[in-house]
């Protein structure tokens, strides 16, 4: 590689973005490490249902028996009424000391299990487990169980992938906030009629919009672009925020905006989890559609295919749509000096161009 240049190497999955009006989607829902799968194949699930869970850490209470009884550690250990591995209920006697007619006791503050007592008569009581959980993320059916990691969820509907999400998932009714995909959303655009909605807007550059959406108990916000000034607020809000196109005053692409704005009042699940480059799963919006008969099968992270209709993401020439001429990417030097994997595309105008695969969106 020539000095002064940078090589762009995509992750294991092809970085193509899917926008599909009628889709049959299968998404893997995986734990960060092995755990317990809590669903069976063929079972119907909602987006908020726990598919699998794995223990993260134990919740432990430290009880200083000597201090609580007011004696030295040796006397406190003699006063113990439990041993390691004993299970106790709330209010059970852990230690008891009798002195004449007086009696001192230490009671279990919660239900739990005794993990042990050290030389200073400090008792460790495990009172629960904190879990890492993975949700179904979409309304659908369990297609396959991936023991001990999770499951594959199959769902049908309109499917739109994005480029960034704040890690939240929720569902609500779609409500356009801007009439045009190129328009920014302002705080004044959000009224009481949007309470509990999934808002759709061209882009967002004002953090107060996110604060106002929080006040209105939004169930989600989908924007084409999000300014860096809004990022911290977007990470803090309690509802999913999904960016379809990029950061800054970037309009939403025409296909996504048309699909979302025409679905006003329909139920949508916003799965705004970060892009998983290992498995090709991007943040997405899934719109429920009744009685789909000609759905197209979509697998997140799928390979590019010759003949696919694609859109080229470009800040200087937006909304370039064409047909993919090659599916095997090759390394090529770009005009800006970067070296990237590229494919050939014929635009609708008939022009032949070379495009980096990181800038490719698959359209259906």
Looking at residue 290, its pLDDT comes to: 63
Looking at residue 5, its pLDDT comes to: 32
121 pLDDT more than 80: yes
Question: Higher confidence at residue 331 or residue 213?
Answer: 213
Q: Report, as an integer, the average pLDDT of 66-90.
A: 95
Q: Is 260 helix (H, G, I), strand (E, B) or coil?
A: helix
Q: Is 235 helix (H, G, I), strand (E, B) or coil?
A: helix
* Domain over 57-130 is classified CATH 3.30.420: no
Looking at residue 294, its pLDDT comes to: 61
State how far the Cα of 60 lies from the Cα of 125, in Å rounded to an integer.
6
Helix, strand and coil percent figures for the chain, each rounded to 5 = 15, 45, 40
Q: Report, as an integer, the average pLDDT of 304-326.
A: 77
CA-closest candidate to residue 288, choices 170, 159, 153: 159
| Whether the Cβ atoms of residue 256 and residue 185 lie closer than 8 Å to each other | no
State how far the Cα of 357 lies from the Cα of 114, in Å rounded to an integer.
56
State how far the Cα of 169 lies from the Cα of 148, in Å rounded to an integer.
23
Q: Report, as an integer, the average pLDDT of 240-265.
A: 92
Looking at residue 326, its pLDDT comes to: 83
**pLDDT tens digit string along 276-298?**
766 668 899 999 876 555 666 66
Looking at residue 289, its pLDDT comes to: 75
Q: What is the number of residues in the chain?
A: 364
Strands (E), 220-305: 220-226, 241-247, 267-271, 284-288, 296-298
Task: Retrieve residue 154's tokens.
Answer: 């199959």
CA-angle at 159, arms to 157 and 164, nearest 5°: 145
186 pLDDT more than 90: yes
Task: Retrieve residue 96's tokens.
Answer: 């008891």
| Whether the Cβ atoms of residue 160 and residue 284 lie closer than 8 Å to each other | yes
Looking at residue 15, its pLDDT comes to: 53
CA-angle at 161, arms to 155 and 162, nearest 5°: 145
Question: Higher confidence at residue 361 or residue 49?
Answer: 49
Domain locations along the chain: 17-26+153-298, 57-130, 309-363
Q: What is the CATH number of domain 17-26+153-298?
A: 3.50.30.10
State how far the Cα of 122 lies from the Cα of 107, in Å rounded to an integer.
14
Task: Retrieve residue 267's tokens.
Answer: 């139920």
């Amino acid at each position: 590689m020539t000095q002064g240049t940078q090589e762009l190497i995509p992750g294991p999955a092809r970085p193509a973005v899917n926008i599909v009006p009628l889709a049959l989607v299968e998404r893997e829902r995986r734990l960060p490490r092995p755990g317990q799968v809590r669903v069976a194949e063929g079972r119907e699930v909602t987006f908020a249902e726990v598919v699998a869970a794995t223990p993260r850490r134990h919740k432990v209470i430290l009880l200083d028996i000597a201090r609580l009884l007011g004696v030295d550690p040796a006397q406190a250990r003699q006063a113990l009424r439990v041993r390691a591995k004993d299970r106790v209920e709330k209010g059970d006697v852990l230690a008891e000391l009798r002195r004449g007619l007086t009696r001192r006791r230490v009671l279990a503050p919660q239900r739990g299990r005794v993990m042990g007592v050290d030389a200073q008569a400090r008792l460790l009581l495990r009172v629960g487990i904190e879990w890492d959980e993975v949700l179904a993320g979409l309304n659908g059916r369990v297609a396959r169980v991936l023991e001990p990691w999770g499951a594959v969820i199959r769902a049908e509907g309109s499917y739109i992938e994005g480029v960034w999400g704040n890690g939240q998932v929720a569902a609500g009714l779609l409500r356009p906030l801007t009439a045009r995909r190129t328009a920014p959303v302002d705080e004044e655009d959000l009224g009481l009629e949007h309470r509990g909605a999934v808002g759709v807007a061209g882009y967002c550059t004002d953090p107060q919009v996110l604060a106002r959406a929080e006040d209105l108990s939004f169930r989600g916000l989908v924007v084409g672009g999000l300014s860096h000034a809004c990022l911290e607020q977007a990470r803090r809000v309690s509802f999913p925020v999904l960016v379809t196109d990029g950061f800054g005053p970037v309009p939403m692409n025409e296909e996504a905006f048309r699909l979302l704005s025409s679905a006003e009042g329909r139920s949508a699940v916003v799965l705004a989890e970060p892009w998983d480059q290992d498995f090709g799963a991007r943040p997405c919006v899934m719109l429920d559609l009744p009685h789909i008969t000609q759905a197209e099968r979509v697998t997140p992270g799928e390979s590019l295919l010759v003949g696919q209709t694609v859109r080229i993401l470009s800040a200087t020439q937006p909304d370039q749509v064409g047909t993919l001429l090659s599916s095997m990417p090759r390394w090529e030097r770009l005009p800006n000096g970067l070296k990237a994997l590229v494919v050939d595309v014929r635009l609708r105008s008939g022009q032949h161009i070379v495009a980096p695969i990181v800038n490719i969106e698959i359209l259906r």
